[in-house]
Amino acid sequence: MEQIQITVGTSSLEEETVLEVKDLCVTRSGKLVLEDINLEIKSGEFVGLVGPNGSGKSSLMLSILGILKAQKGTVRIYGSPPMSRNQIGKIGWVSQAAANLKKEIRITVEELVKLGTLNAKNMFFRSRKEQNLAVENAIKMVGMEEHKHTDVSKLSGGQKQRAVIARALASNADFILLDEPLVGIERNASNSLLKLLDNLCHHEGNTILIVSHDLAAIRQTAHRMSFLEQGIWFDGSSDEFPDLNQLAHLRGIRHVHGHGNYKEEEE
């Protein structure tokens, strides 16, 4: 078996390790869906996780969050296993489902973002004034000031995603994980969402791990990309991401195909 490994240069040795996945194997319904995954993410990195349908991207996210248990191997976030006390409020989770809030729920953007400030740590240590400030800042960061009092059900897909990201930011999350946040969002909105994430990384010091099918968009934005198909077959700078032929070759080496509708460009 062959794997391309390119080490992405890190500017400083002191950079904090946010995520460390070591030799991770995960089975679902008796089937091995993640095999020997090794992935390390440093503070301030913007990593795009790509791969065909059913390749294990969401499973890896769920393992990182501690929802799926490892058969073998370990996951460490800020040096501790998932769901440890030191991670309360530090991890923001944005899924496509998160933005698909039920139509019957009447909630404004501001109220939704405020929900992000309600976690065990914040409730004990934050004053109401601090909470309100965190909400204000988060709404500003995602550029949704004008829609603060708008009912979430009235927002476009892209705006809903921004609101959900603001909710994660209001919780003070440093490490933001997003699973397919671009699905159903038109190209302009998806570009500006990626730009927002890039800004969060560069100016606010957030660490981002994003799953997406939109290879072209991710390649333009993420600094680093990982190609996952049960195992990780490429991990390196986005500039060095293999083209479709090379990818097919990588996948061919493993003799595991038959599924996936992987597209380089989305219409």
For residue 87, the minimal CB distance to ligand ATP (Å) is 22
Whole-number Å distance between alpha carbons of 241 and 142: 29
> 19, 209 in Cβ contact below 8 A?
yes
Binding pattern for the stretch 16-35 against ligand ATP, x by CB under 6 A and - elsewhere: ------------xx---x--
Binding partner of 54, given Mg ion, ligand ATP, none, CB within 5-8 angstroms per partner class: ligand ATP
User: At its nearest, how many Å lie between Mg ion and the CB of residue 193?
Assistant: 18
Q: Which of Mg ion, ligand ATP, none binds 53 (CB below 5-8 Å, type-dependent)?
A: ligand ATP
Quick one: tokens of 239? 């500039």
Q: Quick one: what does residue 127 bind among ligand ATP, Mg ion, none, with the CB cut-off 5 to 8 Å set by partner type?
A: none
**CA 56/CA 61 separation, integer angstroms:** 9
187-204 and 128-141 are packed helices; what angle lies between their axes, rounded to 10 degrees? 130
- For residue 45, what are the contacts with CB-CB under 8 A and spacing of at least 6? 8, 18, 201, 207, 208, 223, 224
The 22-61 contact track toward Mg ion, x by CB under 5 A, reads -----------------------------------xx---
Q: Which stretch binds ligand ATP (CB under 6 A): 51-59, 87-95, 98-106, 160-168?
A: 51-59
Cβ–Cβ contacts within 10 Å for residue 142, how many?
A: 25
Q: Which of residues 54-113 bind ligand ATP (CB under 6 A)?
A: 54-59
Alpha-carbon distance of 18 to 177, in angstroms, equals 12
Contact yes or no for 116/171 (Cβ under 8 A): yes
Q: Which is nearer to ligand ATP, 69 or 202 (CB)?
A: 69
The tokens for 160 are: 């809903």
Residue 209: CB minimum distance to ligand ATP, A: 13
CB closer to ligand ATP, 53 vs 100: 53
Question: Binding of Mg ion at residue 95 (CB under 5 A)?
Answer: no
In the complex, minimum distance from the CB of residue 252 to Mg ion, in angstroms, rounded to a whole number: 23
Using alpha carbons only, what angle is made at residue 27 by residues 25 and 30, rounded to the nearest 5 degrees?
145
3-state secondary structure of 226: strand
Q: Which does 154 bind (CB under 5 to 8 A by kind): ligand ATP, Mg ion, none?
A: none
